[in-house]
Structure 1
Amino acid sequence: MSTATLTTASAPPLPPAVPRPHSLLRKVSDVAVLSLRNLVHISREPFQLSDVTIQPVLFTLLFVYVFGAGVVLPGGADYKDFAIPGLLVFNQVTVTVGTGVGLSTDVNTGVIDRFRTLPMWRPGVLVARSVTDLLTAVLGAAIVAATGFAIGWSPHEGVGRALAAFALVLLFGYAVSWGCACIGLLSKGVETAQALGLLFLFPVVFMSNALVPTQRMTPWLRDLTDWNPISAVTAAARELLGNPNPSASIDAWPMQHPVYATLAWSAALLLILAPAATVLYRRRAAN
């Protein structure tokens, strides 16, 4: 008998993986796809939009008709004209908590691990979340304005300056959303992200000129509120909309130049918080 020796040919080596080039077009495509994913989630659970649809209406009616009766404005100005720009800022800042909640959900449910296996631009998850929340913020601003029109509020400086006021508020809210993104990435759970976001934002919002004039506050508290970035963006919105702005009589630089102060605060927040959120995201995604 003869013995035949069988030889098995070895499989040819696989070519090395070629990394996907992250050109600007590819990055925009990744952000668009991920933003669409976030919008699909909202369409399947529309109650996620309650903070930009129902909440603005409730807060506007509550503050104007319940608390507004006890607020005395310098010169006897109408409280609703004073309050609507403040409520616009109030809504835009508080809804940024949703950015932290959304990122915390993705990180803690394992979705990020699946994204890591895809040839995609890694920071696209963060940018897409911020873009989605900016779109919902536009909806919230429109509902605040519609509610204001319904109760008799109106801007007095023309359409161009009114659009500039809304754009300035949206820019500031977008910058704050990156801070909430950092909170969401640092949190171990969704409930923690929401609690920490509200715990930080609510005192900052209420300790401002958004809902009450600051002239009657104690001196040390008035100084804090005058340099509060929320006060700057609110004063800028009132100035551009032509609504009552008692803060214009205060000598503090942010109250005398609220538009420039808002732009400076927004740029500073973006330059600090956006890179910080990117670093935190990469650390969480690598674990």
Structure 2
Amino acid sequence: MTTLTAPPRASSLRWVLTDSWTVARRDLIHWTRNPTVIVAGLAFPIMFVLLYGYVFGSAMIVPGGVDYREFLMPGMFAQTMMFGAAATISAVAADRARGVTDRFRSMPMAQPAVVVGRSTADIVNSVLDLAVLVGCGLLVGWSPNAGLLPTLTAFGLLLLLRFAMIWVGIYLGLIVSEEAAGTTWALLFPLTMISNTFVSPSLMPPWLGTIAEWNPLSATVAATRELFGNNVPELVGTSWPAQNAMLLAVAWPVVIVAVFLPLAVRRYHSAVR
């Protein structure tokens, strides 16, 4: 009688990594073969840069004579990372509605590879989106002023936020229908607008400013402004979140991943049975 034994731990890990890259490569190929999706995804943040940087920004006066676009761009980078969750939700919901997720589940492959591959592909896409948006920022007059290491750290915090939002997106994509996935932008707008992206929470009504200061997006924006050297001391609040933005910029994404990663994996296994 033949006895089935579990594969060695190293082989199992290699299996997961190989299958994860296969799924990620599949998602990246789909992305490159749909240029309209690329253009639409990049047009939105670029439009916001031009709209807020030149139209509304012409009426903004930043203390200390700082150019408003320098204050704005770190917020735009972080906002784009958070809005990326909508793309993840749409892609996951589409795969589930079209039976792709079911086919993956029936194949002889490492099951964690489906969600790990999805997250890998989305991170790669986000790096490219961020690179384009940085180029746009440089064109409108933004620049990092604090050196190479702080700048790289700032980009790391932005991608950490995006990584956390990927798991939110995977979980929601496994719940909502393909049609409902297209409306998730409306849910993200309050999270991105009630923040320090465009103005300091200290200039908002007290109750709204408190909400904005505790917004996970605000922590990343404040931390990256400091790391890029685009911070305006006069606009930094005295509250605990404002004074500990760097800590919260790491803590919030870690908490989000700790909550939504297991939820997404559990939902994936139950949704396709």
For the superposition of Structure 1 and Structure 2, which TM-score range results when normalised by the shorter chain? Answer: over 0.9
Distance 2:126 2:232 in 1: 24
Give the alignment partner of residue 121 of structure 2, picking from 132, 137, 142. Answer: 132
Give yes or no for contact 1:53–1:139 (8 Å, CA) kept in 2. no
Give the alignment partner of residue 34 of structure 1, picking from 23, 28, 38. Answer: 23
Distance 1:194 1:33 in 2: 26
1:142-153 equivalences under 5 Å are: 142-153=131-142
SS of residue in 1 equivalent to 2:174: helix
* Structure 2 unpaired stretches of 5+: none
1:228 pairs with 2:218: no
* Aligned-residue offset at 1:52: 4.3
1:193 pairs with 2:177: no
* Aligned-residue offset at 1:58: 1.9
**Aligned match of 2:12:** 23
Distance 2:72 2:248 in 1: 20
Letter of the structure 2 residue corresponding to residue 33 of structure 1: T
Q: TM-score, normalised by structure 1?
A: 0.89
**Aligned match of 2:192:** 205
**Aligned match of 2:272:** 285
**Aligned match of 2:99:** 110
Give yes or no for contact 2:63–2:232 (8 Å, CA) kept in 1. no
**Aligned match of 2:77:** 88
* Aligned-residue offset at 1:247: 7.4
Cα separation, partners in 2 of 1:210 and 1:93, compared to 1, 3 Å: same
**Aligned match of 1:181:** 170
Distance 1:225 1:133 in 2: 27
1:72-87 equivalences under 5 Å are: 72-87=61-76
* Aligned-residue offset at 1:53: 3.0
Q: TM-score, normalised by structure 2?
A: 0.93
SS of residue in 2 equivalent to 1:224: helix
Cα separation, partners in 2 of 1:16 and 1:178, compared to 1, 3 Å: same
**Aligned match of 1:162:** 151
Cα separation, partners in 2 of 1:247 and 1:133, compared to 1, 3 Å: farther
Distance 2:254 2:170 in 1: 16
Give yes or no for contact 1:52–1:137 (8 Å, CA) kept in 2. no
**Aligned match of 2:230:** 243
SS of residue in 2 equivalent to 1:23: helix
Distance 2:134 2:17 in 1: 31
- RMSD over aligned Cα atoms: 1.9
**Aligned match of 1:44:** 33
* Aligned-residue offset at 1:133: 0.7
Bigger helix fraction: 2
SS of residue in 1 equivalent to 2:200: coil
**Aligned match of 1:120:** 109
Distance 1:254 1:121 in 2: 41
* Structure 1 unpaired stretches of 5+: 1-12
Any idea what the Cα deviations from partners look like across 1:164-207, whole Å, max 9, x if unmatched?
A: 101101101110121121111111x2221231x22321101100
Give yes or no for contact 2:201–2:210 (8 Å, CA) kept in 1. no
Letter of the structure 2 residue corresponding to residue 68 of structure 1: G
Give yes or no for contact 2:202–2:235 (8 Å, CA) kept in 1. no
**Aligned match of 1:10:** none
**Aligned match of 1:274:** 261
Letter of the structure 1 residue corresponding to residue 134 of structure 2: A
* Aligned-residue offset at 1:154: 0.7
Distance 2:61 2:151 in 1: 25
Higher radius of gyration, 1 or 2: 1
* Aligned-residue offset at 1:245: 3.4
Letter of the structure 1 residue corresponding to residue 89 of structure 2: G
Give yes or no for contact 2:16–2:112 (8 Å, CA) kept in 1. no
Distance 1:254 1:238 in 2: 15
Letter of the structure 1 residue corresponding to residue 185 of structure 2: L
**Aligned match of 1:4:** none
